[in-house]
Amino acid sequence: MGLLKKVVKKAVRKITQPIRAKAHGAQGERKVNSKLNPLLFGKVEHRQINNLIILDHNGKSHQIDHIEIRENGIFCIETKSYIGLVVGDENSDKWTQCLYSGERYQFLNPVKQNRSHCYHLSKILGPRYIINSLVVMVRNNADKINCPNVINLSDLRGYLSHFDNGAHLSIEEMDCIYNALLSASSGMSNRDHIENIRQTQQELNNNICPRCGGKMVLRQSKTGSTFYGCSNYPKCKFIKKQ
């Protein structure tokens, strides 16, 4: 009987996990919204965009949690609300979530995910502006993640206040950037965005490049490892690891 309970409990957890993850994600985004409130930064001049969904030239959608535009730069912020211990680094394909119950789950590296978001924002704004990638762990469990731009929610205020890469945006520039990004909004709903992602995944499963529509072909790296690369290389450099 005890074994049956464990099996049922595990099945229920597997079914409800996506629902709980979505709820935790929404809660995390609200917490970051609150932290970005200018009152917490001494009424600093800033512009903020939340949940921006844009389309690239191939019709693929990209959902960006937060864009923070300040005098010291433009920040593309991805929020993650995983509980437990999270382990990962900048270059690994997946990170690991370790729950206190002993269970482990893997999820896609959000640093790489946000790198793609920064790329598409740069396409909108042009080469004049640098987009700074930032991943915020809402549960303050970033300590085991080896990456300088992955921080705890509790450190967000200090990180933004002290960030310095030489940028100095005027109020006019902030307004210009803000309006340009809002104008690029697709107006797509979150449901349509999820469906767009599913279509992209289906294309990948069929070895179709989601970036340009070319065929994914098996290639070999200089180190001997194999991967799938777009047949339109070097024009398209999209790759898919085996």
164-198 confidence digits (pLDDT tens): 999 999 999 999 999 999 999 998 898 999 898 88
Are 178 and 231 within one domain?
A: no
Are 97 and 86 within one domain?
A: yes
Q: Which domain holds residue 232?
A: 208-242
Please check whether residue 6 lies inside any domain of the structure: no
Residue 4 has pLDDT above 70, yes or no: no
Are 162 and 236 within one domain?
A: no
Q: Are 53 and 186 in contact (CB under 8 A)?
A: yes
pTM: predicted TM-score of the whole model, two decimal places: 0.77
Calculate the CA dihedral of residues 204, 208, 209, 214 and round it to 10 degrees: 170
Are 170 and 194 within one domain?
A: yes
**Mean predicted confidence (pLDDT) in 58-79:** 94
**Average model confidence (pLDDT) for the chain?**
86
Are 220 and 202 within one domain?
A: no
Cα separation values, 85 from 18, 52, 80, 104, 124, Å: 19, 29, 13, 10, 36
128 or 28: whose pLDDT is higher? 128
Q: Are 95 and 112 in contact (CB under 8 A)?
A: no
Q: Which of 17-26, 191-200, 210-219 is predicted least confidently?
A: 17-26
Are 89 and 111 within one domain?
A: yes
Could you give the CA distance from residue 111 to residue 119 in angstroms, rounded to a whole number?
12
Please check whether residue 19 lies inside any domain of the structure: no
- Total structural domains in the chain? 2
Please check whether residue 20 lies inside any domain of the structure: no
Residue 19, pLDDT score:
47
Please check whether residue 90 lies inside any domain of the structure: yes
Are 133 and 201 within one domain?
A: yes
Residue 211, pLDDT score:
77
Residue 43 has pLDDT above 60, yes or no: yes
Are 117 and 194 within one domain?
A: yes
What are the phi and psi torsion angles at 45 (to 5°)?
-75, 125
Q: Which of 5-14, 114-123, 180-189 is predicted least confidently?
A: 5-14
Are 143 and 155 within one domain?
A: yes
